[in-house]
């Protein structure tokens, strides 16, 4: 303790930079390295069309990962995002097929996400169960509900008008990408500029101290899970818009990609630490890698291997650069 | 006296910082040697070199006259060095014996842990110092003082020739300290060299013969404690004379907080008192007498089971610290790391945490305003170094405490509850905290100070409540305030005392 104090006192400037941007810069460098490598190996990787493709392919994971980042910062985890998305998707989809107006069907899907998140949050914050176990339980529960509701069958034949909403583009960018970019901006503002953001960081950083300082612990945690649920529902809408159908098994293992993106971006599973910019970069890193490997016709087994190695490499670099002193 | 342990010209440099510079002194076999200095003086660095955590940049450590290489904690242990840490490094769920053999268990055939044999050997080692400890009991079931003794017994098992203790008594009661002092004296009689680090000067003067005072990484002087005064040692530590201040009361007749019959489900029962505007009310009592629990009730952190509280004549019901803060009452907790700070966040963020409503009137934080207020409040509490964006965990305990006080100043708190305000804080910062508390009172804040250090209570308080068994056993005015008077009421005693206490309660 003593030595750390002295150690850093001599270079407050470096310390300041370290706190605020070096971690994000590191993630950015990681992304650039990956882009350069694939650019060299894969002809046409840097084509505008392919770059847009990467963004589009990353958008759903980025959307989930933003919610996941807030939950992780609060000291929790949300394993139930995939099934939440599936439940939201099948309910919206069946309403759409039944001829319910688009806004109402979409709103119903969002409401499902919020309710799923609320349940997670209440079990964590008021009942005091561990987030990992709570969301492991709701992971199965929500998935089961989606399967029971649909009898295990996909909901097919979504109206073309609905599909057009999420498949459109603006300024040459797919609408899904723009939506997620807006969500990211909002998440950034929440984390950096609002009391809720401060509360998230405090609750995850030291819950007991936050309590004594008058932070509304339960409300903060519940809000984080509700946002995560809402963003899972948004991801679901984007996906069923793209596919034109909603499967009750959609979103399988989404939680793992979302956690990976957040962790690559610098979120600490211990809570109290995480970055919106980092998470977005993390999602794009994962997306670029998959895109590049697919273009190189690499078997999916190896893609899985590459994903695993990227996560481990990111964590090792994190450890080595931060572990001193 | 042969030098069992000798530091010779030890220097330690970290990038850009010289933590130790040419440190030399020696400790004889059977000597208890105090190591004194403020936080940041280099004591911890020196202990880490001794215990093999750090390697010195220059200089050497000699044991019994021979230079030793202490490159790893294992090497240090093999050389006969045992380290007893301030925050005990033990596994509460394992048994006492398992903890004593942690990392190098006794085995049968190298495979199975010889649990019985471990317990037998542990019992042997414990017998010499505290035979009441059961080696098979889970360590977590022991009191801190006993756990401390287990660490010492472990040093005996290792046949340590040198035992270094870092703030061993920071959470012990006076009688537990007595016991520990006996154990340490026993170690010395067996020829062990003891290096004893503590902030509590009276302890060091009580059990050590000599002490080395450090400041800013260098040895100021190694003194014979029989030849110097505490005051002289303090000025060596801080490098200047600390003014001995007179107590001045700022209490007004106006009652700010009125508590009647307050009780909790567990510890506190039937506590009644009034707190005036500008008053500093001390709360003394033994550890476990319900002082901390009382403060937590007043701060809304725990539930009351009965009783009433009025602030400025209005009844308040506090069901969370959030309610309490809104009512103008807040806690500066004893365990800063656990209950005070959010370690990764900056000083500014930690300060602003309780007054988000003020800094974000329309939902978005006004960072300019936050910076301005943070600068103002941190200047007021004299934060050093004055780096508001730096994570609070990198500051010393005293400066963390200042930031927490700043937090409540920013939140407009009028009643401040201090639980052990200077625990783990060095001498210089201690004086600053005292000064700050007095200034707050002078400005019309009302303050309650819970402290185990009687001189601290006497220095600060206008009036003292002595707690015993969860309730107020006595109230002492400034005139009748002495360590003796407080102790007389704090310690559970014979029927005479009990009669008195009951009489008091009946009168209240």
This model of the complex carries an ipTM of 0.84
| Contact between B255 and B455 (Cβ < 8 Å) | no
Q: What is the pLDDT of residue B241?
A: 63
Is pLDDT at B238 greater than 70 in this prediction? yes
Rounded distance between C-alpha atoms, residue B328 and residue B330, angstroms: 7
Q: What whole-number percentage of chain B has pLDDT above 90?
A: 58
For CATH 3.40.50.300, list the domain ranges present in chain B.
3-238, 243-328+414-508
> Cα–Cα distance between B195 and B31 in angstroms, integer?
8
Cβ neighbors of B86 (< 8 A, separation 6 or more) are B166, B167, B168, B170
Residue A323 placed within a domain: no
pLDDT for B166 equals 86
- Burial of A16: CB neighbours in 10 Å, binned 0-12, 13-18, 19+: middle
Tell me which of A15, A200, A214 to substitute to probe the interface with B (most B C-beta atoms closer than 10 Å). Answer: A214
**Chain B residues near residue A74 by CB distance under 8 angstroms:** none
Q: List all residues 6 or more positions away from A256 whose beta carbon is below 8 Å from its beta carbon.
A: none
Separation in Å, CA B359 to CA A195, A209, B374, B430: 8, 20, 11, 30
- Chain-chain contact of A195 with B359 (C-beta, under 8 angstroms): yes
pLDDT score at B171? 66
Spell out which residues of chain B touch residue A215, defining contact as CB-CB under 8 Å. Answer: 322, 353-354
Q: Are B47 and B166 in contact (CB under 8 A)?
A: yes
CA distance A270 to B337: 16
Picking from B53, B339, B411 by the largest number of A CB atoms within 10 A of its own CB, the best residue to mutate is: B339
Specify whether the CB–CB gap between A200 and A74 falls below 8 A.
yes
The domain total for chain A is 1
Instruction: Indicate yes or no: CB of B342 within 8 angstroms of CB of A11.
Output: no
Q: What's the half-sphere exposure (Cβ side, CA atoms, 13 Å) at B65? A: 2
Chain A: nearest CA to B28, how far in angstroms? 27
- CA gap A56, A181 in Å, rounded: 11
**Facing B353 at nearest CB: one of A6, A194, A213:** A213
Question: Taking all residues of chain B, what is their mean pLDDT, rounded to a whole number?
Answer: 88
Beta carbons of A3 and B45 less than 8 Å apart? yes
**B498 pLDDT more than 80:** no
CATH superfamily of B3-238: P-loop containing nucleotide triphosphate hydrolases (3.40.50.300)
The per-residue pLDDT for range A22-53, each reduced to its tens digit, is: 788 889 999 999 999 999 999 999 999 999 99
Instruction: Label residue B494 by pLDDT band (50, 70, 90).
Output: very low
Q: Let me know if residue A141 belongs to a domain.
A: yes
Write the CB contacts of B57 (distance below 8 Å, at least 6 apart in sequence). Answer: B11, B12, B13
Rounded-to-integer distance, Cα B170 and Cα B86, Å: 8
In whole angstroms, what is the distance from residue B414 CA to residue A181 CA? 45
Length, in residues, of chain A: 325
Q: Are strands B17-28 and B193-197 parallel, antiparallel or unpaired?
A: unpaired
Mean pLDDT within B186-193: 92
Residues recorded for chain B? 508
Whether A137 maps to a domain, the answer reads yes
**pTM, two decimal places:** 0.80
Rounded to whole angstroms, the Cα distance separating B375 from B160 reads 50
Cα-based distances in Å from B320 to A201, B296, B300 = 20, 10, 5
Q: How far apart are CA A14 and CA A11, in angstroms?
A: 6
Distance CA(B487)–CA(B504), nearest Å, equals 17
**Average pLDDT estimate for B288-293:** 90
B14 CB neighbours in chain A (<8 A) are 3, 6-7, 325
Nearest chain A Cα distance for residue B389, angstroms: 7
The tally of CA atoms less than 13 A away on the side-chain side of residue B505 is 18
Tell me the CA end-to-end span of chain B in Å, nearest whole number. Answer: 60
Cα–Cα distance list, B77 to B95, B159, B165 (Å) = 22, 9, 14
pLDDT of residue A141: 98
- Going edge to edge, which strands form the sheet with B306-311? B271-276, B255-263, B306-311, B314-316
Is the pLDDT assigned to residue B136 strictly greater than 70? yes
pLDDT score, position A323? 46
What's the rounded mean pLDDT across residues B142-166?
86
Contact A9 B19 (CB under 8 A): no
CATH of the domain at A295: 1.10.3470
Closest CA to A253 of A294, A286, A204, A212: A286
For B252-264, write each residue's pLDDT tens digit.
Answer: 999 999 999 999 9
CB-nearest to A5 from B343, B353, B395 is B395
Q: Quote the domain boundaries for residue A51.
A: 40-318
The residue with greater pLDDT, B87 or B488, is B488
For residue A221, tell me if it sits in a domain: yes
* A35 domain-assigned: no
The residue among A297, A276, A301, A318 whose CA lies nearest residue A72 is A276
- pLDDT tens-digit map of B311-367: 999 999 999 999 999 999 999 999 898 999 999 999 999 999 999 999 999 999 999
Residues B94, B38 contacting (CB under 8 angstroms) = no
The CATH homologous superfamily for domain B243-328+414-508 is P-loop containing nucleotide triphosphate hydrolases (3.40.50.300)
- Judged by average pLDDT, the poorest of A225-239, B51-65, B75-89, B125-139 is B75-89
Instruction: Indicate yes or no: CB of A210 within 8 angstroms of CB of B390.
Output: no
Low-confidence ranges of chain A (pLDDT < 70): 1-21, 321-325
Query: For position B244, what pLDDT does the model report?
Result: 61
Name the DSSP letter for residue B141.
G
CB B142 within 8 A of CB B91: no
Q: What is the pLDDT of residue B243?
A: 59
A201 near B CB under 8 A: yes
Q: What is the pLDDT of residue B129?
A: 80
CB contact, 8 Å: A299 with chain B?
no
Residues 111-170, chain A, touching B (beta carbon < 8 A): none
Full 3-state SS string of A12-55: HHHHHHHHHHHHHHHHHHHHHHHHHHHHHHCCCCCCHHHHHHHH
- Residue B242: asked if its preceding bond is cis (omega within 30°), the reply is no
pLDDT for residue B446: 97
The predicted pLDDT at position A321 comes to 67
Strands (E), B111-268: 112-113, 162-166, 193-197, 210-215, 218-224, 255-263
């Amino acid at each position: 303790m003593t030595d750390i104090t002295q150690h850093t006192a001599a270079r407050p400037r470096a310390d300041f930079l370290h706190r605020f941007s070096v971690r994000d810069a590191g993630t950015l460098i990681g992304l650039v390295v990956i882009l350069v490598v694939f650019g060299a190996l894969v002809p046409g990787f840097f084509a505008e069309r392919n770059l847009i493709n990467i963004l589009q392919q990353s958008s759903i994971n980025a959307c989930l990962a933003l919610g996941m980042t807030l939950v992780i910062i609060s000291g929790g985890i949300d394993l139930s995002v995939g099934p939440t998305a599936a439940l939201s998707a099948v309910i919206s989809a069946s309403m759409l097929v039944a001829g319910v107006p688009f806004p109402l069907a979409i709103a119903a899907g969002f409401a499902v996400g919020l309710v799923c998140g609320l349940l997670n949050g209440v079990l964590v914050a008021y009942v005091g169960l561990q987030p990992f176990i709570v969301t492991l339980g709701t992971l199965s529960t929500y998935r089961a509900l989606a399967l029971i509701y649909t009898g295990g069958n996909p909901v097919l034949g979504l109206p073309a008008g609905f599909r057009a909403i999420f498949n459109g583009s603006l300024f040459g960018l797919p609408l899904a990408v723009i939506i997620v970019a807006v969500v990211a901006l909002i998440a950034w503002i929440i984390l950096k500029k609002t009391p809720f953001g401060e509360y998230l960081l405090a609750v995850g950083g030291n819950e007991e101290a936050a309590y004594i300082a008058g932070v509304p612990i339960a409300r903060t945690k519940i809000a984080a899970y509700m946002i995560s649920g809402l963003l899972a529902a948004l991801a679901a809408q984007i996906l069923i818009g793209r596919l034109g159908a909603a499967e009750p098994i959609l979103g399988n293992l989404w939680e793992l990609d979302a956690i990976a993106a957040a962790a690559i971006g610098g979120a600490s599973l211990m809570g109290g630490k995480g970055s919106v910019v980092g998470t977005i970069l993390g999602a794009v890193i994962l997306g670029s890698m998959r895109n590049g490997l697919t273009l190189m016709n690499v078997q999916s087994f190896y893609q899985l291997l590459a994903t695993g190695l990227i996560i481990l490499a990111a964590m090792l670099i994190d450890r080595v650069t931060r572990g001193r002193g | 006296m042969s030098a069992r342990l000798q530091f010779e010209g030890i220097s330690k440099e970290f990038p850009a910082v010289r933590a130790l510079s040419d440190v030399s002194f020696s400790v004889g076999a059977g000597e208890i040697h105090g190591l004194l200095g403020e936080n940041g003086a280099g004591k911890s660095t020196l202990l880490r070199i001794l215990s093999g955590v750090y390697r010195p940049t220059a200089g050497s450590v000699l044991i019994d006259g021979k230079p030793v290489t202490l490159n790893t904690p294992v090497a240090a242990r093999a050389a006969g060095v045992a380290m007893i840490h301030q925050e005990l490094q033990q596994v509460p769920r394992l048994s006492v014996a398992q903890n004593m053999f942690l990392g190098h268990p006794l085995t049968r055939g190298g495979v199975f842990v010889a649990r019985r044999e471990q317990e037998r050997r542990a019992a042997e080692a414990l017998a010499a110092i505290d035979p009441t400890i059961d080696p098979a009991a889970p360590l977590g079931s022991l009191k801190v003082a006993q756990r401390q003794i287990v660490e010492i017994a472990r040093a005996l098992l290792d046949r340590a020739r040198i035992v270094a203790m870092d703030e061993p008594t920071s959470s012990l009661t006076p009688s537990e300290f007595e016991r520990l002092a006996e154990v340490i004296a026993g170690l010395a009689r067996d020829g062990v060299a003891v290096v004893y680090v503590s902030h509590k000067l009276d302890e060091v003067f009580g059990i050590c013969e000599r002490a080395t005072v450090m400041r800013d990484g260098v040895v100021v002087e190694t003194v014979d404690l029989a030849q110097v005064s505490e005051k002289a040692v303090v000025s060596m530590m801080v490098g200047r004379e600390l003014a001995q201040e007179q107590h001045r009361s700022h209490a007004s007749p106006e009652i700010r907080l009125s508590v009647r019959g307050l009780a909790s489900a567990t510890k506190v029962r039937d506590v009644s008192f009034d707190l005036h505007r500008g008053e500093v009310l001390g709360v003394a009592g033994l550890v476990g007498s319900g002082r901390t629990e009382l403060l937590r009730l007043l701060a809304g952190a725990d539930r009351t089971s009965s009783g009433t509280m009025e602030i400025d004549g209005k009844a308040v019901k506090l069901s969370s610290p959030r309610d309490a803060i809104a009512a103008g009452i807040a806690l500066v907790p004893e365990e800063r790391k656990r209950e005070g700070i959010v370690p990764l966040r900056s000083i500014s963020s930690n300060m602003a945490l309780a007054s988000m409503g003020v800094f974000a009137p329309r939902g978005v934080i006004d960072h300019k305003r936050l910076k301005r207020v943070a600068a103002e409040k941190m200047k007021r509490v004299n934060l050093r170094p004055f780096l508001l964006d730096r994570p609070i965990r990198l500051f010393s305990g005293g400066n963390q405490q200042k930031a927490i006080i700043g937090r409540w100043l920013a939140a407009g708190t009028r009643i401040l509850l201090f639980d052990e305000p200077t625990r783990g804080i060095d001498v210089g910062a201690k004086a600053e905290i005292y000064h700050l508390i007095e200034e707050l009172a002078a400005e019309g804040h009302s303050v309650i100070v819970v402290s185990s250090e009687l001189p601290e209570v006497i220095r600060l308080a206008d009036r003292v409540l002595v707690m015993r068994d969860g309730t107020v056993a006595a109230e002492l005015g400034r005139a009748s305030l002495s360590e003796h008077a407080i102790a007389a009421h704090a310690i559970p005693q014979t029927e005479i005392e009990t009669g008195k206490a009951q009489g008091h309660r009946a009168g209240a």
